[in-house]
Structure formats: structure tokens, C-alpha cells
Amino acid sequence: MQLNRSDAILKYIVEYFIKYAQPVGSHTLIEEYGLKYSSATVRNEMFALEKMGFIEKAHTSGGRIPSAKGYRYYCDNLIDQKVDDYLKYSLQTVLSEKVKSIEEVMKASCEILSHMTSLVSVVSGKEDNERLASAQLIQIAPNTLTAVFVTDQGYVENKTFVIPDNINAEEIVKCMSLLNDRLKGTPIPNLVEKMEALKPVLSEYVISHDVIYQALMETFMRFASDRINLYGREQLFNNPEFKNDAEKLERVFKLLTNNSLIKEVKKDEEDKDFVLRIGDIDDNPDVSIVSKKINLGGKRETSITLVGPTRMDYSKALSALDYLSEELNKYFEELDKGGNRGE
């Protein structure tokens, strides 16, 4: 890539800060990248970049760091994308096993992605058109039952509970059979409402024993909520932005464990398959996200989102996510056509 002097200096500033997490001055840039320009020339270019809003002064030294605008320009115009060979090999190994379920493929792929990028991978597990496929009750001990709910996309949720001695386990099993008949095929977002509508029908078996009813309802509520699957959360501790600042770390953990992150991604994904947000993620100025939609076959889709500091290695993140999404899209399309998807 042939760059003009201003772009080259901005590229080096961004990549130096990504690598070292330290502000950079003109002398350091010249030494680190073997620039043929004088220190005065580099300083002038840095002054111009700062005036345009691409870099800014660090609070702790006289050096400069990239701004959100600078990162965006870097990602749009200066990035070198190259897919790591180990990522290719690892992903192809996963995709060669055709009997894996959607969840298993996504889990293995995201674990590889997090390991290769040192970022957190996030998958929203619930699709808007997902429906309940079955509701079953398994008695694993005289007073212990496990309710198992499965969607048509292969997602499983379960709840194990102990019933009091005065409740007949057979009545609970009959109740679950009724639920299975009445709720099968119901869209997941409508499960709680429909469960509540069935209260009069269930009262003969369950409603007089509120603990059982509430246990079932709790499972449905968790089942119907947005499911956020996180991979590589420990990677956050490798970043000095979070490792050395408990408050920042707490904010990013809160972002990862509630629905605000998924809402942010879905809002941006309404009219595009790719999302790049640099800083200002739900009032987290030190966090960036990169997200791409994944077609699971037919009209089913989800997205994989990489979460990390604004100083994340965008070159590695973008190239890895591009490759992963392309390969997963092909994988699920081929399985969908061949009807060989493992569930």
C-alpha cells in the first residue's frame, strides 16, 4: 500500500499505540519505523493530524494517541488485512466435522476467534423467529425433576428442582405434557405470555403449589430473554486499560453481562451486515466493537461481535472476523442445501 506522508505517520501512530499502549512522539516514530523524515517534519505532520482531530494529546505525557476519528480513518483507509494461517487451519478443523450442532460450531469458532485476537467474542443466541420445539420433564430422583426446553434451532434450556413430599410427581409430569402440547411451535418471545394464559388449565396440577409454577416460569423467562454467549472474557485482563483500572473493568463487565451490548449491535445492524463502533459504547468510551452477521441457513441469522479496548488490533480483528463470517456463511449454506446439519 503506497501512502502519502500524512497517512503513513497516522498509520504508524495508531499501530504503535495498539502495540505498546503508550503515547508516541516524533523521535520515537522515527526510531521505531525507520522514517526518513526529520523530526521537525514529523512534528509538523503530527500537528496537522491533531488539528484535523485524528490524534490527540495524552494526559500523562507529551506524546500523542489516536482519537476515535483517527481509528476510524485507519480502519477505512490504512489497514493491512491478512488472515493468520493458524486461524484458517483451526477453523477448517472445526468445520470439517459435519455432525456438530449450530451451537457447537459457533462456540468452537468464537473460542478460536477470541484466542487469535485477544478480544471477547459475543454471540446473541436468540433469533426473532425461533420457536419452541419441545418441553419435556425428566424425573432424575424420587423428588427431583429436570424440565428441558428445546427450540427449533437446537438451543436447550433446563431447570432442575426438588418437589415437596406432598406433591405427586406424576401430576407434574402430566402438567409438562400439557405444556408441550399447548406451547409447541410458539415463538420464543411469546412463551411467557402464553404460559400465563394457561394458568387456569394448569391449576389442577401446579398452580396451588406456587414454588413449582414459579420454577417453570423462571425457566421460561430466562429461555425467552436475549441469550448472550461470551467467549474469551479473560482476555480483558490482558489489556492495561482494564487491568489497571477497576472502575473501567467493572463497566465493561456490566456491558457484557446485560442486554445493552446486543441492543447497540442490533440498532446498527438494521440496514447493514457489518458494524464498527469505536468508543462511546453505552457510555463506555474505552470500548470498541466489531460485529458481522452470520447466516445460519435459510432466513436464520445471528451475529458475532468482538469486544475490546479502543486500542484493539483492528487489522487482526477485522481480517479474522471477515474470514470467519465468510467461512461460516458457506458452511451453513452448504449444510442447509444438503440437509445434513447436525442438531
User: What are the chain's domains?
Assistant: 5-78 (1.10.10.10), 85-125+227-338 (3.30.450.40), 132-224 (3.30.390.10)
The percentage of residues in the chain with a pLDDT greater than 70, rounded to a whole number, is: 85
- Could you state, in chain order, the average pLDDT of each consecutive group of 10 residues for the chain (343 residues)? 91 95 94 94 96 88 89 93 89 82 86 92 71 84 82 76 75 79 86 83 66 72 70 85 83 76 64 80 83 80 88 94 92 73 42
In 3D space, the residue among 99, 105, 139, 101 whose CA is nearest the CA of residue 123 turns out to be 105
Cα–Cα distances (Å) from 2 to 7, 70, 77, 132, 161, in that order, read 10, 19, 11, 55, 65
- pLDDT of amino acid 340: 47
Supply φ then ψ for residue 158, to 5 degrees. Answer: -145, 160
Q: Are 39 and 26 in contact (CB under 8 A)?
A: yes
- pLDDT of amino acid 263: 66
Whether this model's pTM surpasses 0.85: no
- pLDDT of amino acid 98: 67
Contacts of 311 (CB under 8 A, 6+ apart): 17, 18, 21, 239, 241
- pLDDT of amino acid 205: 66
- pLDDT of amino acid 270: 59
